[in-house]
Structure formats: C-alpha cells, structure tokens
Structure 1
Amino acid sequence: MLEELSVRNLGPIHEARIAPAAGLTAITGETGAGKSMLLSAIRLISGAAASGSRVSSGAGEAWAQGVFCVADSSADSSADGKDDAGGANGIAAGKAVQYAEDAGIEPEDGELFLSRVVPASGRSRAILGGKTVPRSVLESVAGELITVHGQTDQLRIASAARQREFLDMAAGDDTQLDAYHRVWEALAAMDERLAKLRSQEAAARQQADYLRESIARINQVDPQAGEDAELKERRDRIENAAAIAQGVSSALSVLDASQMGEGSSDAASAVDLVNRAVQALQGIRVGGVFAEQAARLESIAADLSDVVFALVQELDGEGSVEDLDRINGRIHELNELMRRWGPELSDVIAWRDKAVFEVEDLDASPEKVAQLEEEREQLYQKALQAAEALHNIRVQAAGQLGEHVSEELDSLAMSGASLRIRVTEHDGGDSPTGSLGPHGGDDIEFLFTPFPGSPELPMGKSASGGELSRLMLALELVAAEQRGGAEGMTFIFDEVDAGVGGKAAVELGRRLARLAKDSQVIVVTHLAQVASWADKQFVVAKAAQPDSGLTETTVTEVTGEARTGEIARMLSGNATETSLDHARELLDESTL
C-alpha cells in the first residue's frame, strides 16, 4: 500500500506530499492544473523512462519518492474508519520484498522507500531503501505494488503473457499452476539430458573412455579410506624394528625380567620389588598411613603389570623385509592414485564414485537412451494431465470473467460492449513437447467488442483510452471478487471517466469504491460523482505565489466544507448554494 507520495520540482509542482487513503483516493482539479504530474511521479518511482524536460524551470533536478507499507500483518485502522490494506498486502508485498532483498535491500520498519532523481541534464538515478539500484530493480519492486491504468499504461494488457497472468490471477489456479510447473521442469530437464546424450561427439566419447579406464585403474588398486596412513605407520615400525626391540627388551629387563624367557637375569624386577614393598607394609598390621601407602603401591604394581603386558606384545616382531617390500609397493600404488586424482586418498575415492555417474550420462548406449525415453514419455503424460487440469480451470474462469465483465461494462456507460476470453490449445508445431510450454498448453486472448455489430478485436487495439480504463476497472473488480480480494495492490486509474456522465458516473464511482474495499485505489477524475465516493480527496490547483508572483501548482487535501466546495465546483463550475446543497446530497449518498 502506498502510504506517502512526495514530489519536488516536477513540472509545475515545486513541492507536494500526499498520504493516500487505504481505500479510495480521488485526485481532482481543473484541467491543466497539473494532475498528470502526480501520475508522472508514480511512473518515475515505478521505473519508467525519465526526461530532464520534466524538471521545473530553474531547478537542477526533480525528485519523487513513494513510501510503501509491505508489512505482512494487518495495521491499525486508518483515520477515515477503513481497515488498512496492510494485512491483505501479503502476497504482492511478499514478492516485492523478495525482489528488494535480492538487490540487498531490507525493508525498514515494514516499509520500502522507492525514489527517483531526475536531473535537468544527465542520467536519472533509481533509489531503493536509500541505495542506488538499477532502474529495472525499481520496476520489478513497483510492479508488485502498483498497477497503473492510464492511456499509456494499458498497452501492457495487450500482450498474451499479461493476459494469461491476469486470467490465472482471477482463476486462483495457483495449485494447478505449481503442479504443472513441477512436472514441466522435470520434463524439460529430461529433454535436455536426452539431447545431450544424442548429440555426443568424439570428445564426449573420449571423455567416457577416459573415465572408464580411470575407474578401472582405481578399482584394480581398490583403495580403502585411511589405508595410506595405516601403511606408513606400519612401515615406520618395521624400519625401526631393531631400535624398538632393543628398547622394549631393556625396559622389560628392568620391569619384569621373567618375561624375557630362558636365560633371564635372576635379579629382582621392578614389579617384584614393588610387590615386596606392599607385603612389607601390609605386614605392619597397623592401619592408617601404612595401609593407604600399601594400597597405592598395589595400584602401581597393577599399572606396571599392564605396561609389562603391553610391551611383551611388542616383542612378537615388527615384520620381515618381505613385509616391508610389500608395504612400500602398496604405498607406491596409492601415491600414484593420489597424484592423479588426489591430493588425498579420500579425494580419489570420491572422484571414482562421481565418475561412475558421469559415465552413465556420457555413455549414450541404445539401452540407456531407450530407458530415458521411456521415463520421458511418463513425464510427458503427467505434463499433459496437469495441463488439462489447468486448461479446464482456465476455461471455466474465462467464461465467468468475460460474462461478469460484460455485465459491469453495461453499468459503466459502455452499453452493448462485451469481453470474451478465448482459451485455445497452443499449436506446438514440430516441438517435442507438442502444445505444452512453460505455462501450460493454452493460448489466451482477450477479445473486446466495443459496440453491438462490431467485430471482436484484440484488447488494446479496439478501445479508446477511457474505454480501456473502464474495461480494466471492470476486469480488476470482477477478478478481485472472483478470488475473494484484490490482495492489497495499489490501483491507479486515469481517464477512467472519459465520456461518462450522469447515472453512469455514479456507477463508476460505486465500482471504484467496491474495488477499494480490499485494495488501495487512486483515481484521477473530473467527475464529482466519482470523487464523492473517495475516502480522501486531494485538489491540484494553480496559485500565484505572493512573494514571486509566479504561478505554482499546489496539492491540498480537502475535508469538511472545503471538500463540499470542491465537489460543488466540479458539479457546476462554481460554489453556489444550489451546487453546495447538491454536493452535500451527493456526498451523503455515496456510500456502499
């Protein structure tokens, strides 16, 4: 939701600030007062092309900024009694926030600041959250927050892609779209894999041969994780066998000579001496310190016995010269593998395991291709089923949308006008996916009949600016009602009242107010019957500045009697008692 729009030095507007209502806001004023500059400001912060000619005379640059609420929770009710659109803003705002975060911009206190600086000469700057960004980023973010329906903005709906998006939005077919997108992506990935297999050249086949030979070489050696470290440790022990044997024997001769076998010295060993000390202390038969020390010596004797046992195991030999040769040979084999596919043995094993899968893809054997083609056919059938489910929902939604829009047009001074939405199967030609594409298998076309007897023509090529604005109002209104809300989007309508008057003008205002129940709507209008429905009204007027005598454009919110006076001016050109009474009556009656 647009919380605030600020403008400086843009055309005749030297400085203005408006805080639109959460519901319907009307921008009024005499012709030529500069209402279009507010729309220009909104287009600028939406990433539109900028021109230095729009900068106010004598100013160095123009500046526009929009502050948008992107909080994903309902805000407090606004002063005019309408519920803020913050809560409904979740879906559109969520996408806008995602685009901003992708550009490195985080919302501040649930708000996004979109700004544009346009110098009198030179390139403009797009600013998001206080940071300069590419204009395309501003366009992406604003595209999720604002929809402008003016004569120059309606052409977007003429594109087939926009019409498909609008129909899907009205249909609320997110579940079916997601299901189709998943199977389509799987099908596209399979087609890419098959194409790669079928178009393999000599280099790919050579790569497959290399991988197979490498896998065979590694498998022949059959390396085991951590094996190289274990072998190097064993080699070190064998190479130092003499020193190990001498050291262990010397230690055992001191600790327990009996473990040395025949010919061992009769001298008492360390274990014997400690045991004798234990017996001597135990023989005192007095407790206290002697018993404690005897216990400590018993523990020492046990530890010494464990040490003796461990050292005896090391006397069994560290391996022969033949063992050393075999170990060195194995280490050499492993080193060769690590040199080619390492640097570590674990890297060699990981490379081999990955190469196995790569060979499967590179080996374009008939059996492999046939297997993948079978899997591809299964995916294609699933995609056809998902596309059919999506098609059925689109056809139903198209019928309802076209019928209800045509009914709305009759109340918007477009009697006899109608809209038909045609959903047909796409002609895929020679495409391997037939009629299917990334968004289903449908061609969608909005066909508009402006008056009875007129041929159906593609939307955007068969209506004037005002008619197209009213057509878009009817579309937005019916789509919002079909999907249970307009998701908090900010809609801006310009020229929607062109050629409208009387009862049709009242109905136009009523429908704008209906759309504003669940979304924010800003309308630029010259009709009192439309402005009277607004929750807030701003008047754009030219005024001579007393200090300079120059004429500047001001933007002022009107309330109370001031608003009644503006409505009266719009009705009759000036505020007479009769027009004021009529204005009060119109304001009282303009409620849903």
Structure 2
Amino acid sequence: MLEELELRDLGPIRQARIAPAAGMTAITGETGAGKSMLLNAIRLISGGDADSGLVTAGSQQAWVQGIFTMETGCRAAHLAREAGADLEGEEHAQDKTQTAELFLARSMPASGRSRAMLDGHTVPKSVLAEISAELITIHGQSDQLRIASPARQREFLDMVAGNAPLVASYSQDWEALKAMDERLARLRSQEVSARQRASYLRDAIGQIDKVDPKPGEEAELRERRDRIENAAQINQGLAAALSALDSSQMDLDAEGAGAVDLINRAISSLRSIGVGDFFDQTADRLQSINADLSDMVFSLAGQMDQEEGIEDLDSLNSRIHALSELTRQWGPDLEDVIKWREQAAFEIEDLDASPEKLAELDQDRHRLFDQAMKSAQALHDRREQAARELAATVSQELDSLAMSGSRLDIRVSARKAQEASAAGVSGETSGPEGQGGTWPLDAHGLDDIEFLFTPFPGSPQLPMGKSASGGELSRLMLAMELAAAGKASSPQGMTFIFDEVDAGVGGKAAVELGKRLAKLAQSAQVIVVTHLPQVASWAKSQFVVSKGQAGADEAVSTSVTEVGGEDRVREIARMLSGSESATSLDHARELLDSTRL
C-alpha cells in the first residue's frame, strides 16, 4: 500500500505531500491544475521514462519518493531484499503478520540522466519497475495498453483462476521435455569431431581400466620402493657381515672359517694346554665372547630373511611408471584419474549415438511429452472455465458502469498439431515423433489467449486496446479488477490508480461508478483522478490540486491539499455547479451523506 507520495519541482508543483487513505482516495481539481503531475510522479518511481522537460522551470532537478508498506513475505519484499534493501519487519498484534516500509525514489535533473533509489541506495530503474509492478497498477490510457499483450492477458486470467499450481506443474514438465528434445537434437547432429571424441574416450577408458588404479596407490608404492632401495644396501652389508662371522649362514658347504669358528679353535687350543688357571680363564672368556657372537649371527640372519621376502623392485617400478602415465594425462592425482574415467563413461553414452541408445531416449521423450500434454490439457480446461466465468462477471460489471451492451469475451484456443519435417523442439514448439508434425507446446502451455471487447451492440469483437476510448478502457479495467477482487490468488496490498475512468459518464451512472470503485477499495487501495463529484464523494479521503501564484514574479504554481469537513463540502459543491451557493452546498452535503457503502 502507498503510505506517502512526496514530490518536489515537478511541473507546476513546487512541493507536495500526499498520504492516501487505506481505502479509496480521490484526486480532484480544475482542468489544467496539474493532477497529471501526480500520475507522472508515480510513473517515475515505477521505473517509467524520465522527461527532463517536466522539471519545474528554474529548478535543477525534480525529486519524487513513494513510501510503501507490505508484508515481509510478499514477492515485492523478496525482490527488494535481492536488490539490497534491508527490510525490518514490524509485527501486528491483531493478525500476527509482519510488515515493513519500502522507499522508492527517483531524481530527475534538468539535464542529464535520472537516478533511481531503493531505500536510499542507487539501483537501475528496472529494479524499481520490477518491484513497483507488485505494488501499483496504473489504469491510465497509456498504461492500459499493456493489457493488450497476449502475455499480460494470460497472466491476468491465470491470476484470477488461481492457476499457479497448474502453471508450476506444467512448467516443470515442459522444461524436462525441452531438455530431452535438446539432447536428442544434439545426438542426431553429431559430426566427425563428436565420433572422434567418443573414440578417444573409449581408448582412454581402456588404458585406465588396464592399469586399474586405486585411490592413494601411487604414494603407497613410492614409499615401499624407497624402503626396498635401502633394503638392497642392507642386504649386501648383512651378507658380508655374516660371511665374516659365520660363513655357514650364507653357504652350508662353505669351507672358509668365520670368526665364530676361529674362536672355537682358539678355545680348544687353550684348553688342550692343561696347565694353569690362566689358560682356562682365557678360554672361558673366549667362550663368553663366542656366545655373544652367536647371538649376533642369529639376529643378523633373521634380518637377512626379512629383506629376502620383499617383492621385486623392477615390478614395483613398472607399476609406479604406469600410474604416473595416468596422472600425467588425466591427473594430477589418481583420484582425479578415477573421477575423469567415471565422467568419460557418462559422456560416451551421449556421444555414442547408437540406434539402441536413440530408441531408448525416444521412449523417454514420448513419456515426457505425454506428461507435458496431460498437464497442458489440465491447464487449458481450467483456463476455458475461468475465461467463461471472468467474461460473464466483467460484462455484468460493465452494465453497472454506464456501458450497457458492452461485453468482454475471452477466447482460449488450443493450438493444433501442424505439419513439420521433423518432430521435436523448433523455436518454442514440441511434439511427439512419428505423428507427422509438431504439437505447438510452449513455455506457457498450448493456448492462445485473446481478450476481445465489444464496445456497443452490433460492433464486431475487437482486441483490447484497439476498441475503446480512454474512459471506456478505464472502466473496462475497473470491471476486470472488480471481478478479480477477493480472489485468493489476487495480489494483496495492491494499489490501483485510475485516470479518465469517468470520461463520458454522468448522472446515475456516475454514482454507480463511484460505488464500484469504493467496492474495490474494500480489498485494495484505490486512488482515482476524477472530475465527477458523484465519484469523489465515495472516497475516504480527498486531495484537491489547485493553481496559485508563487510570488512577486507572478509564476504559476500548484498546490495539493487534503480537504475534510466543510472544506470538502465546498470542493464537492464546486465540482457540482462551479460555485458555493447554498443550494450547491446542501446538494454536496446530501451527496456525501448518501455515498456510503
């Protein structure tokens, strides 16, 4: 909801501040007073084109700001946060909802580029346009032409029908079908380079599978190789030491004497002397030394057995080399090689477009198409039903808006299969193969939707935007908004702005027009620019735009003032008769008293 609109130096308005009511607000004033500047201000904060010619003469720039309140979970708040706004929510005690304020501003220099701001931060004007589209709907003659586009008409119909779940379901099915069509098209258009790629992948996978690498294997083998290389040196030293100590450990038939054998001979020689304790003691000491040497021989021989059990170094080096070749081509690590091999296996499935593979994918494609068609048909049926209901409701509303005999018709046409040389996606169409053509599904279903307006009895049905005056189109849009009001899927907290809605209306029809606007204001904020007192009297608040003199320089300026009480009675009287006579004042009071829902 628009809480406040403030503008400075825009056209004849030097400064103005408007705080519209939560329900219906009327903007009134004499023709040419500058009411259009308020609409221009709203268009500026809605991302509209800037016109430096609207800057007040003598001013450097015009500035406009709108303050909106919204629920923190709405789409506008989501878009604002994505654009960098920091929304602080405030919880309401009544319904526990959280709302936040959002500031949209625009400055427009007399020369140079305009500047768009969101909560004080500069943003592209497209950001303001995207966010304001969720907050404001302007129904002026130029703004209403947007509804003439088929896309906007489809969106409006889906919104009124509450088709969001059906649209989401179809979109998911459509994306899956389109992805499959693109995959099939890619496979069928493979050239020599693709086949070469498949051949390379098969060879590479064969090389990797032949080696059959394991994660972390290369590092483990290098560690074992280092140990083996050192073991060769140890083995050589052990053999020499054992030969010196006990040659029989290396060769059972060895005839050479080792240290153990020589000491045994010395012991035997000393003991054979048989004289004195000295020789016996020396023999005992040699016996002890020999026992230690025997222990050493036993230990060294055990080490020799362990080293002889290690695998062949050549085979180990060969394995390391094979693994290194894999990491050189598809590494840097064996884990990368293994991952690459897995991805290559998936890629080769697509590149290797065998007839069996294509036939399998075709079956998947038929299944996806059938599902998309089922979803599209469900959406089509709901649109047809909603179109009949909406057209009948809008036509009934038009009778109440001084447009008796006018009628809205909504045509929902399912596109049929068309002949084509090949099935599948073509632009935004898709269809089953083998059926001689394509079913023109697109991202939004299989429907062509067209809103047709009959402005008077006997007139042909004409597309919206090309068949009505500005006032008629405004009333048609009012009737459409009334038909959408209260729907669970209709935008909450929306601000509707109507301009020229009262063109060509008077008398009883004017009263009914005001009543219908007030009814819409029960579920949304409504701001209407009007010349009719029968319309303005229904408003909850009223602002008057009037001309005045700026000062000694005699320059004309425009003021915007909220009126209430007797001031509002006098403004309604002026609108009724152009004067403030006792009769017109009484009529104004009577009108204000009678226009209450």
TM-score bracket, normalised by the shorter chain, equals 0.7 to 0.9
Instruction: Specify the code of the residue in structure 1 equivalent to 2:564.
Output: T
Q: Which digits, 9 at most, give the CA deviation of each residue in 1:540-563, with x for residues without a partner?
A: 111223465432111111122222
Aligned with 1:96 (options 76, 79, 101):
76
Q: Which residue of 1 aligns with 2:143?
A: 153
Task: Give the distance between the partners of 2:193 and 2:525, measured in 1 at CA.
Answer: 60
Aligned with 1:373 (options 342, 362, 372):
362
Task: Give the distance between the partners of 1:336 and 1:390, measured in 2 at CA.
Answer: 58
Shift of 1:496: 0.4
Contact persistence 2:70–2:493 (CA under 8 A): no
Shift of 1:363: 1.3
Instruction: Specify the code of the residue in structure 1 equivalent to 2:494.
Output: M
Secondary structure in structure 2 of the residue aligned to 1:70: strand
1:175 to 1:372, Cα distance in 2 relative to 1, 3 A: same
Task: Give the distance between the partners of 1:312 and 1:564, measured in 2 at CA.
Answer: 122
Q: Which residue of 2 aligns with 1:432?
A: 430
Shift of 1:331: 1.1
In the alignment, does 2:16 pair up with 1:22?
A: no
Q: TM-score w.r.t. structure 1 length?
A: 0.82
Q: Where do residues 142-541 of structure 1 align in structure 2 (5 Å cutoff)? A: 142-241=132-231, 317-318=306-307, 323-427=312-416, 429=418, 430=420, 431-433=429-431, 434-483=439-488, 486-541=491-546
Shift of 1:432: 3.5
Greater CA drift, 229-238 or 47-56: 229-238
Q: Which residue of 2 aligns with 1:47?
A: 47
Q: Which digits, 9 at most, give the CA deviation of each residue in 1:247-300, with x for residues without a partner?
A: 99xxxxxxxxxxxxxx9x9xxxxxxxxxxxxxxxxxxxxxxxxxxxxxxxxxxx
1:316 to 1:544, Cα distance in 2 relative to 1, 3 A: farther
1:234 to 1:448, Cα distance in 2 relative to 1, 3 A: same
Shift of 1:246: 11
Shift of 1:328: 1.4
1:246 to 1:536, Cα distance in 2 relative to 1, 3 A: farther
Q: Which residue of 2 aligns with 1:300?
A: none
For structure 1, the residue ranges without an aligned partner over 5 or more in a row are 73-89, 249-262, 266-310
Task: Give the distance between the partners of 2:584 and 2:591, measured in 1 at CA.
Answer: 10
Shift of 1:364: 1.1
In the alignment, does 2:110 pair up with 1:112?
A: no
Q: Which residue of 2 aligns with 1:57?
A: 57
Number of matched pairs: 514
Secondary structure in structure 2 of the residue aligned to 1:153: helix
Contact persistence 1:187–1:376 (CA under 8 A): yes
Shift of 1:568: 1.8
In the alignment, does 2:10 pair up with 1:10?
A: yes
Contact persistence 1:486–1:518 (CA under 8 A): no
1:247 to 1:457, Cα distance in 2 relative to 1, 3 A: farther
1:150 to 1:556, Cα distance in 2 relative to 1, 3 A: same
1:315 to 1:424, Cα distance in 2 relative to 1, 3 A: farther
Greater CA drift, 354-363 or 558-567: 558-567
Secondary structure in structure 1 of the residue aligned to 2:485: helix
Secondary structure in structure 1 of the residue aligned to 2:141: coil
Greater CA drift, 524-533 or 408-417: 524-533
Q: Which digits, 9 at most, give the CA deviation of each residue in 1:379-408, with x for residues without a partner?
A: 111111111110111011100100010010
Shift of 1:481: 3.6
Q: Which digits, 9 at most, give the CA deviation of each residue in 1:324-378, with x for residues without a partner?
A: 2222111111111111111111111111111111111111111111111111111
Instruction: Specify the code of the residue in structure 2 equivalent to 1:55.
Output: V
1:213 to 1:313, Cα distance in 2 relative to 1, 3 A: farther
Task: Give the distance between the partners of 1:198 and 1:352, measured in 2 at CA.
Answer: 25
Secondary structure in structure 2 of the residue aligned to 1:240: helix
Task: Give the distance between the partners of 2:467 and 2:133, measured in 1 at CA.
Answer: 25
Secondary structure in structure 2 of the residue aligned to 1:141: helix
Q: CA RMSD in A?
A: 2.5
Instruction: Specify the code of the residue in structure 2 equivalent to 1:365.
Output: S
Contact persistence 1:448–1:459 (CA under 8 A): yes
For structure 2, the residue ranges without an aligned partner over 5 or more in a row are 90-99, 239-257, 261-299, 421-428, 432-438
Shift of 1:422: 0.6
Task: Give the distance between the partners of 1:575 and 1:318, measured in 2 at CA.
Answer: 121
Q: Which digits, 9 at most, give the CA deviation of each residue in 1:523-581, with x for residues without a partner?
A: 11111111112122111111223465432111111122222221222122122222222
Q: Which residue of 2 aligns with 1:254?
A: none
Instruction: Specify the code of the residue in structure 2 equivalent to 1:17.
Output: R
Greater CA drift, 39-48 or 542-551: 542-551
1:369 to 1:484, Cα distance in 2 relative to 1, 3 A: closer
Secondary structure in structure 1 of the residue aligned to 2:312: helix
Secondary structure in structure 2 of the residue aligned to 1:317: helix
Q: Which digits, 9 at most, give the CA deviation of each residue in 1:204-245, with x for residues without a partner?
A: 111111111111111111111111121122112222226888
- Who wins on radius of gyration, i.e. which is larger? 2
Identical aligned pairs, as a percentage?
A: 64
1:214 to 1:565, Cα distance in 2 relative to 1, 3 A: same
